[in-house]
Amino acid sequence: MEILIIVLAGILIGASVYLMLSKSLLRIILGTGILSHGILLMLLTMGGLKRGGIPVLDDSVQQYADPLPQAMLLTVIVITFALTAYMLVVAIRVYRELGTDDVEQLKGVPREDD
């Protein structure tokens, strides 16, 4: 199972790189979202999967799943969300001000002598 999930995470990371290398702002933002998904899976797998019960104290359970990666991932999810929302608004603003979402055309500020 772990190996499968790591491979899946690798595929997600690869796909996110592909999306981030494209020209459209929307696809770049989607790419960062996918990247964070891949990393989430990767991190969670490092703690082992499906070992023991849900990490909520219960007298009948002998072994719990590792709670530490889960706590960390929770933080990661929230931060990623904040970042995605912000980037999305930046993209909207860029499109409104500059009239394009093609990053190939967003190249520096025009100099006065141009």
Q: Round to the nearest angstrom and report the end-to-end CA distance of the chain.
A: 58
Instruction: Give min distance, CB of 60 to other proteins, in A.
Output: 13
Kindly state the tokens that stand for 60.
Answer: 């009948």
Decide whether 60 or 104 has the Cβ nearer to other proteins: 104
* Geometric angle at alpha carbon 97, from 91 and 102, rounded to 5°: 50
Q: Between the CA of residue 94 and those of 50, 53, 100, what are the distances in Å? A: 44, 47, 7
- Least separation, in Å, of the C-beta of 46 and other proteins? 6
The token duo for 12 is 């997600």
Q: How far is the CB of 59 from other proteins (least distance, A)?
A: 11
